[in-house]
Chain A
Amino acid sequence: MEKATVVIIGGGATGLGILRDLSMRGVKALLIEKKDLINGASSRYHGLLHSGGRYAVKDKEAARECIIENQILCKIGKGCVEPCGGMFTRLDIDDPAYEELWIKGCADSGIEATPITLDEAFKLEPRLSRKHVKSAYLVPDAAIDGFRMAWQLIDSSRRYGGRFKTYTEVIGFDTVNGELRGVKVRNQFTGETYEIGCDIVVNAAGGWAGFIGKLAGVEIGVQPDKGTLIAFNQRIVNHVVNRLHKSSDGDIFVPHGSITILGTSSMSIPDPEDTSTSRAEVENLLKIGEQTFENLRDFRILRAFAGSRPLYIPPGGASGRGASRGFAIIDHERDGLKGFFTIVGGKFTTFRLMAEKICDQICAKLNVTEKCRTAEEPIVPEVSQADKERARKFFPSYGTELAATRLGVERFKRVVERLESDVESRELICECENVTRAEVEEICKEDTIFNIDDVRRRTRIGMGTCQGNFCSFRATAVFADMGGNSMAKDSLVRLREFLQGRWKGIRPVLLGRTLRESEMTRSIYELSMNVTGGEPQ
């Protein structure tokens, strides 16, 4: 039987943070994820590395955690954090009294909030509404990319012996006399089920944590809380732009690489699998968003998407925006189940801290005395300037830096070599996000890639302007050629499922130019390739 000291359930930010932390302390840990990594909230989120400003009035404790973690991640996460800075803007319709409370809250929580003149604000963010914006402050918000961070945490964990399995679902537990001995899992492709022996299980399944609890026979108050987000085709903002008012829907814009994300909303739902979005939700977000950016509707929308926050509801607590954004660690020994831990709630921003806290408890149980080192060591080493210089000769312009952080030192080196020796590998698979064939080939070869969406999350193909129009068939062909598993050969199915995935996010925003784009997709795939995508989902 396969064995590990600790099995972690869930490949979101929380689970990955724990895998890295335990591995660095020398604990044999294995992470189990039922789909690809960051299948849950950790990619279906806003991408804001909070300064804490958002919580400065309501929850100073959370605000303080945020600013500390923000500073740590800016230091250790150079490959996934973009230190773009943030701005809080109060509009004419917002309560000026809140501004006073907020200034004080920031000061109390150790968040530097620098007032700026409106002229400065408009210079930094030219698209802000001159009519409505009344005051502005700069804060140290940043943008953080869940896709890159996830795989960087994996690279980091692997260096310390950490292991993981994707597309493997936890379906049950093996307990003997109230003590956990292992987990039962199922391979999602083959259907094969088997057991993995372990001493400790960490339930880091986010919005699914309650379901995992049920499998283990314990009650966990987790309320999946759905938030919808809109991705725009380009950077509308240079900073994270927040509304300076009591936190509400649609009041944050995050510049996320080449795009901008506007969000979000808050809606309790029974099942975190529900990632649907609707025209009404999109409309609601636009209505609020255009108070800050008057011309918002003139910007091209790429898609809408949604994820579920794992809100922890202690018995009798509030849900929705009223619920705490703090996190909870539960040692289920209290419920009579030894060796079973749950960690829920919190934020992406605080994943490292959450991991540190729970790993301290786990290590105490295991008599491991190693201290947490995750705050000091960079997640992954940086690609050297020399390697980047060499790469610039072969990479498309504006492509080197982004590819370097996506790929990391080793893969980047291999990709550059490939580009150098094989001229044809320099062609672009994805023209919108500037992804070369060499990079796609490098990723397709990895044994964690089972479909084109997996390639997308690693490379950003299909995530730009055309949403897969031209890269879908090219990437499918490369995967069919390079992929090491039988999934790769079934290329028509792969192409279809990828297009369906793109379509899902486009459908609720099928207006104006997005509609025109879709018609082009349809004509390319339906008329010239006879690929219709199958039944509507």
Chain B
Amino acid sequence: MKSARLLLALAVTAIGCSNDDGGGVGPDPLVISTPFDLTSMGRGPVPDRFTAELWVNGSTAYTTTWGTRTVNDVQARGNAVKIWDVSSATPVLVDSLIIEGATTLGDIQATADGKYLIVATESAGSIVIYDLQNPRRPALVTRFSNSDIDKGVHTAEVQPVGNKLYAFLCIDPRGSDKARLVIVDITDPSAPAMVFSQIMGTPFVHDVFVRDGILMTALWNDGIAIFDIGGGGRGGSVANPVQMGTAPIVGGKAHNIFWFRDQVTGIKRFAFVGEEGPGSIPSSSVGDVHVIDVTDMTNPREVAFYNVPGAGVHNFSADEERGILYAAYYNGGVRALSIRGDLGTCTADQKSSDGRCDLRKMNRELAKGPVGLSFPVYVWGVHFTDGKLYASDMLNGLFRLSTVPAF
């Protein structure tokens, strides 16, 4: 595997040196350029509730629920975690959890070692931690909240920093209480401890991305901010993040962020920011993917974007081996973008009027789906893992989608 990566890296480097096509998809065999379809391989229906967040842990998937759905005069709240067997192409519902006092479950993620599941709750804000010794039967470890959190946990990102495990929580504004970022040490899952809390974002801090001791925050109209929390060489730590740089997002409304690390070359040049404009759930949406060059973290800058007419982006997941970003696009389904190579350099024809490169004009759009369905979708989230792609659809449940053909 290592030698294969080395060969890929050498090839990418060599082709990258000779590729002067302005960042568009050229002859680079490592840049996926052949369009393909995202077809539904199987669907696990959820008719009783609206489906939202998604996490896949081996052969088990977890989906959260959102808001209130009424079916046959029965109102069901977004207080359920659906547990799926995804060992075959068609997800099979095997169990569910009900979290008391929640109207929406803001986020869900298993730890990288697969031992614990963390669920964020709204509008009574908390995080609920489950033991996954039996992944199909999560066992409650603890539920954590305090006065900084109880307004509602909109998103929760669980990542290790150093030798500790943290949950990075984006807290909803409520009344005169402004949105804030709260970081909780969950190294001991039975005894979470808040280590950082700060008002952030105008008017929201909506999501974060953590990698290699760097914290990136999506701050809505404040754009993004990058913090050293131990890996940036600025003396920052999780308890004392040191801001390294900020960047505005064209149009504002920075909703989520993903920092791409090319698993072949190790290059970490671009971060992708989802813009969430005002839509009408679950019928319309608006918002672009924004590409930020973070080579200089003290001076990040937007260099490219991707737009889908009539639809807006939501959550991301990536195939970092192949350089593909999968983006949930609400009523636009799922889109796959080729993100390897130089996205910030393009021809004049590939630029928008404000000088940014347009990924669509650069032929970076690879796929969309699910194709061939006879009913509308409103895709909230995607998760690519172990070569498989899953999508959570508010209206219809959990999809397993085809991915890029092997190359």
A binds B: no
